[in-house]
Structure 1
Amino acid sequence: MNKVTIRPGNIADIAEIEQHIPEFVAPKTTTMILQRLADKPYLLLVAYDGDKPVAYKLGYQLAAEEFYSWLGAVLPSYRGQGIARRLLLDQELWCQTKGYQAIRVKSMNCFKTMLQMLISHDYHIVGCETAAATTDPKIHFYKRLK
């Protein structure tokens, strides 16, 4: 395996990765993603093994000083290598250089590894949202950047 590198990616990379994430019942399409990002400053970081996209982290501006870390995933065969952590830290650094004061994230209880990573990197639980269609609530996190 080549050394995994992280750099800005493109939306097509997300669609490719999303198709191979078994936990995602309804993978996001390029159209859905572009609609959400319309007219918003955003950051898309992609981890590549050579030219192959293996993980990503996508977020966008919520307000002048707040960033929303919206989507992320790591292909199953690349998990446990610290790639998600590297993406998170790179996103935080980028947000700080752009003047954001805080990052918001939502995750679900079924994504235990993500919850643990967020908590271990000083993201605080600030709310919970239950949806009628699922028994797995969305957990809201917030981190004030230094």
Structure 2
Amino acid sequence: MAITITTGTIDDVTAVSEYIPELLTAIGSDTLRNRLENKKALILVAHKEDTLVGFKIGYELSNTQFYSWLGGVHFNYRRLGIAKKLLVQQEKWAYEQGFTNIHVKSMNRFPQMLTMLITNGYHVCGYVDKQSTELSKIKFVKQLTK
């Protein structure tokens, strides 16, 4: 029962997003297209056998900076290392494309994500105050190296 990571499509993301409760609502394809338009971007998807179980999307901020925008794993397939596999593959791709660092934002209400970022070499580099510790965003950065 291996997990495979491949490049995916906007349709893949919208299909699996309804099984990721943290997203609150399924992600519309127009939202995705608008965000990724005219940017170097990567959509990764994870499959367990023939089942689509997760995704990770990122795009360029500049020639050297890549932004890991959105991702998630189907609620029935968590704790299998899928999010980390997606993270590692995204970092590898970004490095190969010439990006020198990767940025991501998360929130206190996602402690597993915060832990994964910190244990994988991401450093806190800022905070976006939304008047609530639950809604405020914590900014992270990681220098990409071999």
How would you bin the TM-score normalised by the shorter chain? over 0.9
Instruction: Report the equivalent of 1:18.
Output: 17
* Residue pair 2:58, 2:67 contacting (<8 A) in 1 also: yes
1:143 paired with 2:142, answer yes
What secondary structure, in the 3-state scheme, does the structure 1 residue paired with 2:114 have?
A: helix
* Structure 1 residues without counterparts, runs of 5 or longer: none
Normalised to the residue count of structure 2, the TM-score between the two structures is: 0.93
* Residue pair 2:108, 2:134 contacting (<8 A) in 1 also: no
Count of matched residue pairs: 145
Counterpart CA distance in 2 for 1:103 and 1:64 is: 11
Larger mean CA deviation between 80-89 and 19-28 belongs to 19-28
Counterpart CA distance in 2 for 1:97 and 1:36 is: 22
Residue by residue, what CA displacement relative to the aligned partner does 1:86-111 show, whole Å, maximum 9, x if unpaired? 11011111111111000000111111
Cα distance, 1:63 vs structure 2: 0.1
Counterparts of 1:27-42 in structure 2, within 5 Å, are: 27-42=26-41
Normalised to the residue count of structure 1, the TM-score between the two structures is: 0.93
* Residue pair 2:128, 2:138 contacting (<8 A) in 1 also: yes
* Structure 2 residues without counterparts, runs of 5 or longer: none
Instruction: Report the equivalent of 1:115.
Output: 114
Q: C-alpha root-mean-square deviation of aligned residues, in Å?
A: 1.4
What secondary structure, in the 3-state scheme, does the structure 2 residue paired with 1:99 have?
A: coil
What secondary structure, in the 3-state scheme, does the structure 2 residue paired with 1:116 have?
A: helix
Larger mean CA deviation between 58-67 and 123-132 belongs to 123-132
Residue by residue, what CA displacement relative to the aligned partner does 1:31-60 show, whole Å, maximum 9, x if unpaired? 000000000010111001233211011000
